[in-house]
Amino acid sequence: MPPPAASSSTVPAPSGVAPAGPEPSSRPERLTPAAAGVAAGAVTLGVAELLAAAWTSWLGSVGTPSPLLAVGGAFVDRTPPWLKDWAVATFGTADKLALGIGMGLVLTLVCAGLGVLAARRRTAGLSGFALVGVVGVAAVLSRSGAAPLDLVPTGLGVLAGTWVLSELLQRHTALTRGADPSTGTAGSHPSRRVAAGSAPSRRSLLATAGGLTVLGALGVVAGQALAGAGRAAQAVARAVSLPAPRRRVTVPAGAASDVPGHSAYLTPNESFYRIDTALRVPRVDPAEWRLRVTGLVDQEVEITYEDLLAEEHVEALVTLTCVSNQVGGDLVGNARWQGWPVRELLARAGVRPEADMVLSRSVDGWTAGTPLEVLTDDRDALIAVAMNGEPLPPEHGFPVRLVVPGLYGYVSATKWVTELKVTRFDADEGYWTPRGWAERGPIKTASRIDVPRARDAVGPGEVTVAGVAWAQHRGVTAVEVRVDDGPWQEAQLLEEPSVDAWRLWRWTWPDATTGEHVLSVRATDGAGEVQTDLPAPPAPDGASGWHTVRVSVG
Ligand SMILES: Nc1nc2c(c(=O)[nH]1)N[C@H]1C(S)=C(S)[C@@H](COP(=O)(O)O)O[C@H]1N2
Ligand SMILES: [Mo]
């Protein structure tokens, strides 16, 4: 509805001159209720997160009593592929931090809005606030491993927050009325009443709300820190002593490169990419850990960590790749893994002939659906306990994960694995499949230029170009580089100790001429198949296309 013509009396003041009339908006009237709403939200979360830390650390809750982590986790579970793509492309492995900041902003706005609503219509506002609490409780109860007791932290937090909100608003109302006893007098702008009558009390009310907000935020930070510190997984991980593998692998010197900026053949554990849906790294005590083989088997089998360490282990060089990796991206890493072949455990259980898939499940309920044949053929599909000679780091799956050569991580590389359900593709599906990702995820042949990097200044003259190429389980038999639209030139391949791992390559650009140039790369796999130039986004089954780098020479 258009404003009545009379409202044009609020002529904007010339810049630098304060308006002469009443304050231009009812902002001060809304500020206090909004601040009260934010304070109530902060107190809710502060109380809930502190209690959740106690639940996790001392009550040993295996669910997600933290409402922030539960809501965040539920959100992650419902992320459509385009959003996951965008988030990974934009934030990379900082996607969890970005999610946290986004949730903080949304919650602040919602709480501020509910505060304003509650100042006008108390019941509606407080009910809205409680409703947000119910969403939190529902999220907590929906997480894997949730027990009824897990709702207590969020429930008590919401009670505390609702009380704070109604208490602050009551004072706010008292102020508003107290400033002008003739409430409802026409012509007296409400904000003016307050501003004129009780600026100091308003200020102290705002200060109280601000103080409560800070306290609440501190509670959240302390809660997260305490929950983290209460986890012993890291210490335990360091204490584990690994058995000697039956077969060891060594990396020949000829597989690695000394070109500055070139990928290391083995990616150090600290810099290995991490992708998972776990907002907090699961804590798994190896003494409690079990791996169960269930489903279409002759007999169910359950093994302990000790049992697993007593089996004959092998080592294997396997390059993991995330299906979300963009062309030229870095969601790929190579490691020396140690573990027990999956096929030996499956053989012990006796797989029924009608089975064609293994649904592996992690302690936090995440699942991957892996074709049975890649777990039973002669490749090194491992129940892995070590990465580059160290027990698995907690964020890479301690104590036990799966590593399967040739498949993207989302259909194979289950971290914190606790169950292998032998099943069928037409009966079960992995976590990402109903979310828009392909049922099967063999890794596409790919190559990447590491140096020079985009927009590096190089040359003129001789320029070293170097990078990696991967076609897991098929191997890389050729890499070619091209300058602008020139002919493809054969790159020098470094040694390939395993077809399951990436291969480093380099090429000397003999005569780089001044100006802008585009370098392109493509690989050929062990079957003689040349990497496709057809560009495809990561969803649904992995990106494709040639990696190009624009450099300026001179
Ligand atoms: N439990 C669990 N395991 C998981 C995932 C997960 O979300 N949860 N993500 C998978 C995906 S998508 C990838 S790419 C690899 C990444 O393994 P990394 O973090 O050790 O590099 O782990 C896989 N294993
Ligand atoms: Mo992934």
According to DSSP, the β-strands at 401-403 and 301-304 are: unpaired
Stronger pLDDT, 17 or 278, i.e. the higher one: 278
If pLDDT is split at 50, 70 and 90, which confidence band does 488 have? very high
Q: How far apart are the first and last CA of the chain?
A: 63
The answer to the question of residue 21 being in a domain is: no
The answer to the question of residue 441 being in a domain is: no
| Beta carbons of 522 and 546 less than 8 angstroms apart | yes
For the segment 509-529, the average pLDDT, to the nearest whole number, is 97
**Residue 84: predicted pLDDT:** 79
The answer to the question of residue 240 being in a domain is: no
The answer to the question of residue 5 being in a domain is: no
- For residue 151, what are the CA distances in angstroms to 94, 103, 137, 157, 551? 29, 20, 6, 10, 56
For 319, the 3-state DSSP assignment is strand
Checking if the pLDDT of 430 tops 80, the result is: yes
The answer to the question of residue 131 being in a domain is: yes
Q: How far is the CA of 415 from the centre of ligand 1 (A)?
A: 6
Checking if the pLDDT of 237 tops 60, the result is: no
Q: Which ligand has its closest atom nearest to the C-alpha of 362?
A: 1
**Residue 179: predicted pLDDT:** 54
Give the count of domains, the chain.
3
Q: How far is the CA of 408 from the centre of ligand 2 (A)?
A: 6
Q: Are 213 and 284 part of one and the same domain?
A: no
For the segment 6-12, the average pLDDT, to the nearest whole number, is 36
For 339, the 3-state DSSP assignment is strand
| Beta carbons of 315 and 338 less than 8 angstroms apart | yes
pLDDT in tens, 493-506: 999 999 999 999 99
- Tokens 């409402």 appear where? 67
Ligand 1 pocket mutation, candidates 79, 275, 367, 388, criterion most atoms within 8 A of CB: 275
If pLDDT is split at 50, 70 and 90, which confidence band does 27 have? low
How much of the chain, in percent, has pLDDT values that exceed 70? Answer: 89
Ligand 1, CB cutoff 6 Å, lining residues = 272-278, 320, 322, 362, 366, 396, 409-410, 413-416
Q: Are 62 and 98 part of one and the same domain?
A: yes
501: phi then psi, degrees, rounded to nearest 5: -120, 165
Other Cβ atoms closer than 10 A to 304: 14
Q: How far is the CA of 251 from the centre of ligand 1 (A)?
A: 25
- What CATH number does the domain containing 454 carry? 2.60.40.650
If pLDDT is split at 50, 70 and 90, which confidence band does 280 have? confident
Checking if the pLDDT of 163 tops 70, the result is: yes
Q: How far is the CA of 204 from the centre of ligand 2 (A)?
A: 51
| Domain end residue (candidates: 410, 435, 460) | 435
Q: Are 431 and 456 part of one and the same domain?
A: no
For the segment 446-461, the average pLDDT, to the nearest whole number, is 92
Checking if the pLDDT of 384 tops 80, the result is: yes
Other Cβ atoms closer than 10 A to 505: 28
* 42-56, 85-99, 135-149, 214-228: range with lowest mean pLDDT: 85-99
- d(C-alpha 113, C-alpha 90), whole Å: 29
The answer to the question of residue 164 being in a domain is: yes
**Residue 231: predicted pLDDT:** 61
Instruction: Look up the domain containing 288 and give its range.
Output: 253-435
- d(C-alpha 283, C-alpha 288), whole Å: 11
Closest atom of ligand 1 relative to the 274 alpha carbon: 19
Q: Are 47 and 116 part of one and the same domain?
A: yes
For 189, the 3-state DSSP assignment is coil
Q: Are 422 and 466 part of one and the same domain?
A: no
**Residue 147: predicted pLDDT:** 86
| Beta carbons of 320 and 415 less than 8 angstroms apart | no
Tokens of 186: 């026409």
Closest atom of ligand 1 relative to the 397 alpha carbon: 20
Checking if the pLDDT of 529 tops 60, the result is: yes
**Residue 391: predicted pLDDT:** 94
For the segment 43-53, the average pLDDT, to the nearest whole number, is 93
| Domain end residue (candidates: 414, 435, 456) | 435
**Residue 195: predicted pLDDT:** 45
Q: How far is the CA of 322 from the centre of ligand 2 (A)?
A: 4
- d(C-alpha 224, C-alpha 191), whole Å: 40
Q: Are 291 and 409 part of one and the same domain?
A: yes
Ligand 1 pocket mutation, candidates 415, 420, 470, criterion most atoms within 8 A of CB: 415
Q: How far is the CA of 541 from the centre of ligand 1 (A)?
A: 16
If pLDDT is split at 50, 70 and 90, which confidence band does 241 have? confident
**Residue 438: predicted pLDDT:** 97
- What CATH number does the domain containing 319 carry? 3.90.420.10
Instruction: Name the nearest CA neighbour of 52 among 279, 264, 270.
Output: 279
Tokens of 522: 């493509």
The answer to the question of residue 234 being in a domain is: no
If pLDDT is split at 50, 70 and 90, which confidence band does 331 have? very high
Q: Are 415 and 276 part of one and the same domain?
A: yes
Q: Are 429 and 457 part of one and the same domain?
A: no
Q: Are 428 and 289 part of one and the same domain?
A: yes
Q: Is the pTM of this model over 0.85?
A: no
The protein residue whose alpha carbon is closest to atom 1 in ligand 1 is 415
- d(C-alpha 508, C-alpha 500), whole Å: 26
Q: Are 177 and 301 part of one and the same domain?
A: no
- d(C-alpha 339, C-alpha 238), whole Å: 17
If pLDDT is split at 50, 70 and 90, which confidence band does 25 have? very low
Q: Which ligand has its closest atom nearest to the C-alpha of 273?
A: 1
Q: Are 401 and 520 part of one and the same domain?
A: no
Instruction: Name the nearest CA neighbour of 549 among 445, 492, 465, 444.
Output: 465
Question: How would you classify residue 280: left for phi > 0, otherwise alpha for psi between -120 and 50, otherwise beta?
Answer: beta
If pLDDT is split at 50, 70 and 90, which confidence band does 57 have? confident
- d(C-alpha 416, C-alpha 239), whole Å: 18
**Residue 113: predicted pLDDT:** 95
Q: Are 222 and 124 part of one and the same domain?
A: yes
Compute the mean pLDDT over every residue in the chain, rounded to the nearest whole number.
Answer: 88
If pLDDT is split at 50, 70 and 90, which confidence band does 191 have? very low
